[in-house]
């Protein structure tokens, strides 16, 4: 809409200028000024009288900007303004996400004691308590014990990195031992599981217990979450993508990258096609 208004205003301005210039000769003759030279009543001027017919070659000539040049520059300027108005938002939506991080408020997953050392738990929680059930997510949590006097925890996302379907634990689960934990903002459930692997029921993607792809169409390992321990509680932080995990538990070496969407490669030749930002997570 702004571009249309600007175009109409510019069109009206130039129409007015053109009409004024077109009517200028008629107005000049109607003012009663001196009659132009060269009419029937004026005697011819002898060639040896009067001033020079042409100005000296080095005399400055100030004709101003030709109308055609002014119209050309105005048209180009108006085209640039309209292009900026139309293309600016499109470019912003396409480029801006590459320069912004996916920030996530810390999510309280309850006391660390709810996650026994060496055992897996399936935690179902809300990313945003204000948004309600639509923000409910699931993660697989394993307490790896202490490393350098600090707790080590593995938190794997259940989002399949093929097309985003929910991944399930491939092994026994003790639903009868499920616990509901209430935190300050919401409540979550923690269910004991014994995964032999993780699998996606949609298209047959399969992952080992460290999240590495072992079968099917997924293009990388399962995403993981950063975490922190505060006041004895486990807090979920922002997610990140994983190319490969070598080793297990606290000894695992993670090839980590900035969070990518399902189906996006993070390493190898195909990874060059996506705007990834490697992270040094050890």
Mean pLDDT of the chain: 80
In this structure, which CATH number among 3.30.413.10, 2.70.70.10, 2.102.10.10, 3.40.50.720 belongs to the domain 107-271? Answer: 2.102.10.10
Instruction: Return the percentage of the chain with pLDDT > 70, whole number.
Output: 68
**Residue 25: pLDDT over 60:** no
Does the pTM exceed 0.75?
no
Q: What radius of gyration, in Å, describes the C-alpha atoms of the chain?
A: 37
State how far the alpha carbon of 95 is from the alpha carbons of 84, 98, 276, in Å.
15, 6, 13
**Residue 35: pLDDT over 60:** no
Per-residue pLDDT reduced to its tens digit, 168-198: 999 999 999 999 999 888 889 999 999 999 9
**What does the domain layout of the chain look like in residue ranges?**
1-21+64-84, 107-271
**Residue 281: pLDDT over 50:** no
**Residue 276: pLDDT over 80:** no
Chain centroid, CA 44 distance in Å: 78
Per-residue pLDDT reduced to its tens digit, 62-83: 556 677 777 777 787 778 788 8
State how far the alpha carbon of 156 is from the alpha carbons of 20, 113, 123, 207, 224, in Å.
75, 19, 10, 11, 4
* pLDDT at position 87: 76
Higher-scoring residue by pLDDT: 48, 111: 111
Report the run of H or E that residue 120 belongs to, with start and end.
Answer: strand 120-126
* pLDDT at position 235: 95
């Amino acid at each position: 809409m702004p571009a249309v208004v600007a175009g109409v205003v510019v069109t009206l301005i130039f129409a007015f200028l053109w009409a004024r210039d077109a009517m200028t000769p008629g107005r000049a003759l109607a003012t009663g000024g001196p009659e132009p030279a060269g009419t029937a009543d004026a005697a011819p001027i002898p060639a040896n009288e009067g001033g020079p017919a042409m100005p000296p070659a080095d005399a400055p000539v100030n004709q101003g900007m030709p109308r055609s040049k002014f119209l050309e520059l105005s048209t180009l300027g108006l085209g640039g303004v309209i292009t900026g108005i139309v293309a600016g938002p499109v470019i912003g939506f396409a480029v801006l996400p590459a320069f912004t991080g996916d920030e996530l408020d810390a999510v309280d997953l309850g006391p660390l004691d709810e996650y026994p050392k060496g055992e897996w738990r399936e935690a179902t929680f809300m990313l945003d308590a204000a948004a309600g059930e639509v923000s409910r997510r699931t993660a697989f949590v394993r307490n790896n014990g202490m490393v350098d006097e600090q707790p080590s925890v593995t938190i794997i996302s259940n989002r399949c990195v093929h097309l985003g379907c929910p991944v399930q634990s491939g092994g026994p689960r003790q639903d009868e031992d499920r616990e509901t934990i209430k935190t300050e903002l919401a409540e979550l459930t923690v269910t004991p599981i014994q995964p032999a692997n993780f699998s996606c029921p949609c298209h047959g993607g399969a992952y080992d217990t460290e999240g590495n792809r072992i079968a099917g169409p997924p293009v990388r390992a399962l995403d993981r979450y950063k975490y922190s321990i505060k006041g004895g509680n486990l807090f979920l932080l922002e997610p990140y993508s994983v190319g490969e995990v070598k080793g297990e538990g606290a000894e695992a070496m993670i090839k980590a990258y900035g969070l990518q969407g399902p189906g996006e490669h993070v390493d190898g030749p195909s990874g060059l096609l996506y705007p990834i930002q490697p992270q040094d997570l050890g």
